Structure formats: C-alpha cells, structure tokens
Amino acid sequence: MKLSVIIPVYNSERTIGPLVERLQDCLSGQDFDVVLVNDGSRDESEAVCQRLESRYSNVTFVSLRKNFGEFNAVLCGLNHVAGKYAVIIDDDFQNPPEAILTLVATAEQGNYDVVYSRYAQKEHHWFRNLGSWLVNTLTTYSIGKPRELYLSSFKLIRREVINEIIRYKGPYPYIDGLIFRVTRHVTSVEVPHHARTEGRSSYTIRKLVSLFLNVFIGYSLWPIRLFTVLGAGLFAISLLLGVYLLVGWVTPSLSIPDWGIIVWAIGMGVSLQMLFLGVLGEYLGKLFMAYSGMPAYVEKERKGAGVND
C-alpha cells in the first residue's frame, strides 16, 4: 500500500518544515509520499517547501501563481498523488500527523471510500466553529450528507474516489461536494485536535460567505426547486381563494371584500411566475450539473466473463 499526504500551504513558513519532518518520523514504516501545494503564500513558505523537496526524495512541491483557495489547492494536490489513499492535512499542526494511521486503519477495516476525522473538543476559534456548523447544516440538505457526519478538512480519500474527483475541471471545487457526488460509503473516526501554535487562522467572513454560496448554488438544485415548491404552494392557495371568491359571487349572503379579487390576481400572477422560474431553473440546473462533470454513475467493481480484474 502506498499513502499520499496532501498539505495545502499558506503562510506557514514556521510550521511546514517541522510538520514534514514529523511526517517522516511517524510514517517511517509506510510507503508514502508528501505533496506540498503552496497556495500563493506571502511569506517564505515557498522557499521552505523548495528546501524540503530537495531534502526528501518523497516530497513533491507544487506552487500556485496566486492564492486560489484551500479547495483549489487540495484539488491540485489530488492531481499529483500516487497512493492507494490520500490524506489531506492542514499545515498548522492542529491535526496531529500520528492520527493519519488511525484514518488508514479505519479505511482498511471497513473498506471505506472516505474517512473523516472528528474531534471530542475542537480548538478552533468560535467564529471558525460557527462557520463550520453553518456549512455542515447546509450540506446536510444540499448534498445529502448524513446529519451526524462532520465534514472536517482532515480526511482520507480512496484512490478510486480521487480518480472521479479530479475529473472536475471547473474553477469552484468543493471537495466534500465532489465526494458525495461519487460515494456514500463514508465514515468518521475520533482523533485529537490541538490548538494552533503559530500564526492565526485565515478564516474570514468573506471566505465563509463565499463557501456558503458555493455550496448553496454550485452543488445542488435545491435552491431552484425551492422556487418551484413555493410557487406550487402559492398557486394552490390562490386557487382556493379563487373558489371562495366564485362561491361568494354566486351566493349573495356571503360578503366578499372589494380587495379580494386584487389579492387573488396578484397571488395567481406571482405563483405562475415562480413556477415558470422553477421549471426554467430545472433546465438550467441540469445543464449546469452536466457541465460540472457530475457522473451518471460510478462503478465500485466489475466481475464476470470478459472483465479483466
């Protein structure tokens, strides 16, 4: 078995060297390689990574021309791995490298496609924890994530799933969204989580909003279908109001307010517009999903006459 470790690097000149050295120690009994992806760091991270690549034969270094974002850097790293499994780990030591073997053991024991880490106690800033909770809640409904599963950045992905993920060629990758397009054979395992020892988190309101919109719009037709559902509900209410107005018109004993017909006309008009937008959105959404490279199916294995295993 060969294991690949992907580290997206951003402004971590003080931590990336010790992290790679520690990986060499704790994974010394494994056949593994390390892929460093410098995501447009503004400090000396690139120079440090270059020295690490020269020092260790199992280290590959890729430098991006500007800061594209963590998911883009991870996708780049996934295109350069050679292992049966790839583990994505942050560059700040909050995820202990020794826990990589726990992820591998869990994947081997249960034959899982993806193993996420989970934490008994998170040492992130409260704002980062709030953002993670919002995104995890959204993904439960938008990409079909199990409610109890926490989508951490420290995770293991099997080679077959990686091959499907790297088919995505768009500019807005969301790794977890791409994972759940391919497989549901996913689990999590508890690992330690440490406080940041150097620097500070680059997690900002702008990045949270960008991620929220990317998940909400880019990986699900749920927002479009919400218009259809609301339009259908409003149309049903407008029909009932129309029946009531018709009964009132033929029944002199019922008192119908003068503004009733206006409310009915507005309700019918708005509901028809929402239904039209929903149907149109379904067509556009299907085209968007086809463009994004969403597979029609993914084979787990093939056996039988005429199949080469």
Last residue of a domain, one of 218, 244, 275: 218
Question: Which of 274, 245, 250 has the alpha carbon at shortest distance from 261?
Answer: 245
As a whole number, mean pLDDT of residues 26-31 equals 91
Residue 297 in domain: no
Residue 309 in domain: no
What pLDDT score does 280 carry? 81
Instruction: Indicate whether 67 and 181 sit together in one domain.
Output: yes
Instruction: Indicate whether 19 and 168 sit together in one domain.
Output: yes
pLDDT for 162 beyond 60:
yes
Q: Which residue has the higher pLDDT, 307 or 71?
A: 71
What pLDDT score does 129 carry? 61
Question: Which of 121, 120, 118 has the alpha carbon at shortest distance from 156?
Answer: 118
Instruction: Indicate whether 241 and 105 sit together in one domain.
Output: no
Q: Are 109 and 189 in contact, with CB atoms under 8 Å apart?
A: no
Instruction: Indicate whether 149 and 269 sit together in one domain.
Output: no
Instruction: Indicate whether 42 and 136 sit together in one domain.
Output: yes
- Can you give the residue range of the structural domain that contains 137? 2-218
List pLDDT tens digits, range 212-263.
Answer: 667 767 677 777 777 788 888 888 888 888 887 777 777 776 666 777 778 8
pLDDT for 309 beyond 50:
no
Instruction: Indicate whether 211 and 284 sit together in one domain.
Output: no
Instruction: Indicate whether 28 and 48 sit together in one domain.
Output: yes
As a whole number, mean pLDDT of residues 78-98 equals 91
Q: What is the CATH number of the domain that holds 160?
A: 3.90.550.10
Instruction: Indicate whether 258 and 171 sit together in one domain.
Output: no
pTM over 0.85: no
Instruction: Indicate whether 137 and 200 sit together in one domain.
Output: yes
Instruction: Indicate whether 240 and 106 sit together in one domain.
Output: no
pLDDT for 165 beyond 60:
yes
What pLDDT score does 29 carry? 85
Indicate left, alpha or beta for 236 from its phi (over 0: left) and psi (-120 to 50: alpha).
Answer: alpha
Last residue of a domain, one of 218, 247, 265: 218
Instruction: Indicate whether 269 and 281 sit together in one domain.
Output: yes
Number of domains in the chain: 2
Q: Are 64 and 40 in contact, with CB atoms under 8 Å apart?
A: yes
List pLDDT tens digits, range 60-76.
Answer: 999 999 999 899 999 99
As a whole number, mean pLDDT of residues 158-177 equals 90
As a whole number, mean pLDDT of residues 186-211 equals 73
- Measured distance CA(45)–CA(287) in Å, rounded: 40
Query: Long-range CB contacts (< 8 A, 24+ apart) of 182-186?
Result: 182/113, 182/295, 182/298, 183/113, 183/114, 183/298, 184/144, 185/111, 185/112, 185/113, 185/114, 186/112, 186/113, 186/114, 186/115, 186/116, 186/146, 186/149
Instruction: Indicate whether 111 and 249 sit together in one domain.
Output: no
Of 128-137, 235-244, 259-268, 296-305, where does mean pLDDT reach its minimum?
Answer: 296-305
Q: Which residue has the higher pLDDT, 153 or 309?
A: 153
Q: Are 99 and 22 in contact, with CB atoms under 8 Å apart?
A: no
Indicate left, alpha or beta for 308 from its phi (over 0: left) and psi (-120 to 50: alpha).
Answer: beta
Confidence of residue 6 (pLDDT cuts 50, 70, 90): very high
What pLDDT score does 117 carry? 92
Measured from the Cβ of residue 35, the count of other Cβ atoms closer than 10 Å reads 25
